[in-house]
Amino acid sequence: MSQLHDIRKAFEELGAQFDAAWNARDASALVALFTADGDMQFWTGKTISGRQQIELAYASEIFASMPPDMRHTTMLDRFTLPRPDVAIGDGSVKIQGTTGPDQPAVELNLLFTCVSVLDEGEWRIAAVRLMIPQGE
């Protein structure tokens, strides 16, 4: 197998691990996927930087207010490898579920760009940018 194929698989696995941690509401597992100085910018423009701040935001704000059946699914559309230790992926995220009993299903569709780097022998997320698709 080619190096590009192997790195793409590792990148896709990061997405699957992110989904699993998000769906389990496990902020510690989610933040372990980031580099120490990684950051995440939401579609609102809010940016959180560093593992401690990312974990705090997910544990105390995002997951704390999330209905239990909401699910996160990541789909990778494009992948580039500008350097052997840097990978960039673009794709979409679907967050769906209900906000409570007898409530209609809700769905949020987002676009993302993710930069991952080889960090101490492991692929980790250095930066994520989330966007709402035009017209949504």
Ordered alpha helix ranges (H), the chain = 3-23, 27-31, 51-57
pLDDT single digits (tens) 30-73: 999 999 999 999 999 999 999 999 999 999 999 998 888 899 99
Return the CA Rg of the chain: 15
Which three-class secondary structure state does DSSP give residue 128? Answer: strand
Domain that holds residue 12: 3-131
Q: Quick check: is 43 in a domain?
A: yes
Q: Quick check: is 127 in a domain?
A: yes
Q: How many distinct structural domains can be found in the chain?
A: 1
CATH code of the domain containing 13: 3.10.450.50
Q: Quick check: is 88 in a domain?
A: yes
pLDDT single digits (tens) 103-133: 888 899 999 999 999 999 999 999 999 999 9
Other C-beta atoms closer than 10 Å to the C-beta of 6 total 10
Global confidence as pTM: 0.92
Distance from chain centroid for Cα 16:
9
Q: Quick check: is 108 in a domain?
A: yes
- What residue type is assigned to position 73 of the chain? T
Q: Quick check: is 136 in a domain?
A: no
